[in-house]
Structure 1
């Protein structure tokens, strides 16, 4: 068993997977999550840090822990919301600090059929000590952003996902300033180079491991407008796995098959999908971002990056051995980081915080975010008025029905009026609570987000006005 007193690692293997473990809804949930634990345990090389999403129950968490405890002895199941956050972090080294940070903007309670608000989505944070020195620390951020239900820019939840990307970027930035290795992983429900993706890569020093290795990889499904504009041919399944890094909606995933294939699967047939078939729907929603721990050399005054990316791949594409279904409706994303030997062993470098270079999005992007916030705030203000108005109407209707009971000649009519009164009062109270309390809370969170974006925009304007040359995103990437 690893401990904080052992030698720090020279390599770090990371794995992230959305398990699709919805209780009562996900088919073969128990069987699939048990097999997920088996395949993580059988992986070669074995992962050192694992982040899981949609692992909703303690039972499923324990099933995976039982199968991986020998090499991942430390783990945390994170609790959040009404039904749980579904987030898990497993580690080869001790988790010395842990917290669950819920996103201020996190869906709507009225959309109970979607459930994002009820699970209390947020960021599972873990500080992991990999060795005896202060700099032998990794800060892990595992998350699952709000799901998209329409295509951007028409997604009504784009404001939520943008705010969530902003929040996790702040956490990553703070960890990087402490000089720690920063790893953010999970199901971000965004495509590469989308607004949320650009926020994370600019407002934090974190870099998308897949785009480091494959900068020309897809920025959406082949059928999407953004990908069609690039003029690339429809990729096959193998190209999507190895070059585009597609983790979701792959033609190889049994949960995305057509009805004919699913019927064959239900009959027990092990359906084989060739790797050369066209794959127009697959896209990348799962990510690993990392920022190397940077430290100040007191002799040269320069920063040194301790970790570099060696490889990244899409994994967990195997099927269940008896059910022949995919283990989840997502594939995993995996990466290997390598530590510089000189950085890991040289004691002269300071362990203190490192001032990160200032980097900003284009001013027009901040304006786009502010426009999105203002548009959503207007929507919610109208929703608030409608809900409070509906509450008042239902209250008047309920009182009217109670008064009417005194004048009706038949008992069954009185019963109907009492029933209508009760239902009216109930729906009115619910809508009143949503409009008065929830929407009010959401509007205040939006105002905080709006201030932060406006403040950052003002700094970006000042920064661009300086005589010194601006640091581009590419320059910042070289520095980190």
Structure 2
């Protein structure tokens, strides 16, 4: 392996490789492989989407095997998720995470459910150190086939952004550099975009370098509210990063314009000052800084551009219906130690020494002595106990809420009391009715990586180091929280979609029973039928009706039940995240 690099070049491209559907697929993807091998600067990590056949993947691998010797094609769903990752450095681990909400099997003409969309995950080692690992997450989220308030797939894309944020957050807690690339099918600063940047420690590379870039196509309401002039094709590429739907891409031309392209025909050019109303940025590169305290610095974006805009040398068409998005991360060492110690040691390097000298805290479970049966279990075993008239004591290993007084004084606005002697929190009975036993604290709970230390003084040091590095690398402020209204918007989307799916389940179940009754009626009619052709028609109608009803019955029993349970899990996580805020009411606390 080469010496530890100071730059990492990234590239993401939707190659539009749908078998039997995408035009000139084989020729285009072969040329994509050749252009990747000849790219300057040479990409170190490449994320591909819509590469649905292994034949196309192998053709790209043949062209890039010397520059990108490591690669992984990810298999998921009935026809494959179309995701692949190419790397200059070894891939130590890989897995594919399938989204829990991803379209509907009834929309067979769209195919999202059948390809099993998800996240291709890879751990890539770029250096010899224990933290010299970049975790790459490549995804292609559900396509936005609908728009406006009646977009039934908005809930799916929101759930997918939420699950992506959890994956990124978990990787960052392991102290690794985190990179997320792909076709996210969302617009900058949209609900899904804000969920990813607020719930995981990553930044949108393009907005770091182009903070005034557009937030959608020229006709989008959010972009119109900025009152900017309609961009030109060149401006959309250079400043706005519009790698999709722009006039430079020949697959967005009309059929009459596309007829001007082909072997032996003169090249058709597009003027840079062409007005571009439809160009938008839906392909993203998100990146974290890595563990600054261990690495002695962090990774910051220094370049972001739209690439792979060349045309096929013989066919004259664009290589895909998307252009690529390229980015460069550069390692920046901290200019000066942020700690006042003469020889500071990162807490991550010596956890044993840290915990040995630290004062025990409620997070340190070793400091808690075992007790007898909890009061909660004794209350629940009492048949006279009524949850709606009393409160229960729920043993939790958490620190007291801010403002709580030892001995059970509690706070006025949180609906709970805290006992410092028994480490018990008295939770309102409504929480028991809802089956939820959570301690809601105004401050966030420690991450799993933080909870392993007895003292949390190093968290303040890490935070100061992150702020210092962000200022040094011109990263801007990191979005760390969403306002409560955003969670309300997510819950409103969930509520509308749950009502829709419950209605679908009900009517499809009724269709099944109606088809069974219709089949029985047709069979009775066959018995009394005076003519053979009438009997044939009745048998045909009953058979087709029973098949259709059985399919709907299976959907109601299997798919819709599974989807509604996934929606309940998503709703619980959103309410739990919203419940950690100070402005929630008592009903939200007890959910």
Scaled by the length of structure 1, the TM-score of the pair is 0.91
- Within 5 Å, give how 1:24-173 maps onto structure 2: 24-173=20-169
SS of aligned partner of 1:306: strand
| 1:227-254 Cα distance to aligned partner (Å, 9 max, x none) | 1121111111100000000011011100
Q: Where do residues 270-289 of structure 1 align in structure 2 (5 Å cutoff)? A: 270-289=267-286
Cα offset, 1:8, TM superposition: 1.4
Counterpart of 2:7 in structure 1 is: 11
Kept in 1, the 8 Å contact 2:262–2:316? The answer is: no
From 525, 529, 533, give the equivalent of 1:408. 529
Is the Cα–Cα contact under 8 Å of residues 360 and 460 in structure 1 kept in the other structure?
A: no
- The gaps in structure 1 that reach 5 residues or longer are 298-302, 465-480
* Alpha-carbon distance between aligned partners in 2 of 1:21 and 1:347, rounded to the nearest angstrom: 52
Q: What secondary structure does 1:364 align onto? A: helix
Structure 2 vs 1, CA of residues 463 and 390 (structure 1 numbering), >3 Å: closer, same or farther?
Answer: closer
How far, CA to CA, are the matches of 1:347 and 1:115 in structure 2?
Answer: 55
Q: Which residue of 1 aligns with 2:550?
A: 429
**Post-superposition, which runs of at least 4 consecutive aligned residues in structure 1 deviate over 4 A?**
346-358
Mapping of 1:145-224 within 5 angstroms?
145-224=141-220
> Unmatched 5+ residue regions in structure 2?
336-342, 350-448, 451-458, 464-478, 586-591
Give the Å deviation of 1:44. Answer: 0.6
Q: CA deviation at 1:287?
A: 0.1
Q: Is the 8 A contact 1:18 1:330 kept in 2?
A: yes
Q: Distance in 1 between matches of 2:89 and 2:223?
A: 41
Are 1:369 and 2:490 counterparts?
yes
Aligned pair 1:325/2:322, yes or no? no
Mean Cα deviation higher: 260-269 or 217-226? 260-269
Change (3 A) 1:338 1:463: farther
1:165-196 alpha-carbon deviations (Å, 9 max, x no partner) = 00000000011111110000000000100000
- For 2:266 and 2:559, the matched residues in 1 are separated by 49
* Structure 1 position 461 matched with structure 2 position 582: yes
CA distance in 2: counterparts of 1:121 and 1:29, whole angstroms: 21
In the alignment of these two chains, the number of paired residues is: 453
Match of 1:467 in 2: none
In structure 2, what is the equivalent of residue 399 of structure 1?
520
Q: Displacement of 1:359 after TM fit? A: 2.6
Mean CA deviation greater in 414-423 or 202-211: 414-423
Q: Which has the higher contact order (CA 8 A, sep 6+)?
A: 1
Quote the offset at 1:260 in angstroms: 2.5
Whole-Å Cα distance in 1 between the matches of residues 27 and 347 of structure 2? 49
Q: Distance in 1 between matches of 2:297 and 2:520?
A: 70
CA distance in 1, matches of 2:115, 2:189: 27
For each residue in 1:24-79, what CA deviation from the matched residue of structure 2 results, as whole angstroms up to 9, or x when unmatched?
Answer: 00000000100110111110111000000000000000000000010111100000
Q: 1:397: how far off? A: 1.0
Instruction: Tell me if the contact between 1:145 and 1:164 (Cα under 8 Å) persists in the aligned partners.
Output: yes
Distance 1:229 1:191, change over 3 A: same
Task: Please report how far the alpha carbon of residue 328 of structure 1 lies from its aligned counterpart in structure 2 after TM superposition.
Answer: 0.6
Task: Report how far residue 263 of structure 1 moved.
Answer: 2.0
Distance 2:35 2:182 in 1: 18
Shift of 1:401: 1.2
* Other structure's SS at 2:46 match: strand
Contact 2:296/2:333 (8 A) holds in 1: no
The corresponding residue for 1:360 is: 481
Do the aligned partners of residues 404 and 258 (structure 1) sit closer, same or farther apart at CA in structure 2, a change above 3 Å counting? same
**Conserved in 1, the CA contact under 8 Å of 2:12 and 2:181?**
yes
Distance in structure 2 (CA, Å) of the matches to 1:227 and 1:362 = 21
Question: In 2, Cα distance between the equivalents of 1:445 and 1:366?
Answer: 18
Residue pair 1:112, 1:118 contacting (<8 A) in 2 also: yes
User: Shift of residue 371 of structure 1?
Assistant: 1.2
Alignment match, 2:299: 307
SS of alignment partner, residue 14 of structure 1? strand
Instruction: Give the drift of 1:258.
Output: 1.9
Larger Rg: 2
Cα distance in 2 between the residues matched to 1:180 and 1:40: 26
Name the stretch that deviates more: 352-361 or 417-426.
Answer: 352-361
In 2, the alpha carbon distance for the partners of 1:411 and 1:320 equals: 62
- Kindly indicate whether the alpha-carbon contact (under 8 Å) linking 1:179 and 1:351 is maintained by their aligned counterparts in 2: no
Deviation at 1:347, TM superposition (A): 11
152 and 333 in structure 1: CA distance in 2 versus 1, 3 angstrom threshold:
farther
CA RMSD between the two structures:
2.0
Shift of 1:350: 5.5
Q: Distance in 2 between matches of 1:313 and 1:250?
A: 15
Q: Distance in 2 between matches of 1:395 and 1:288?
A: 52
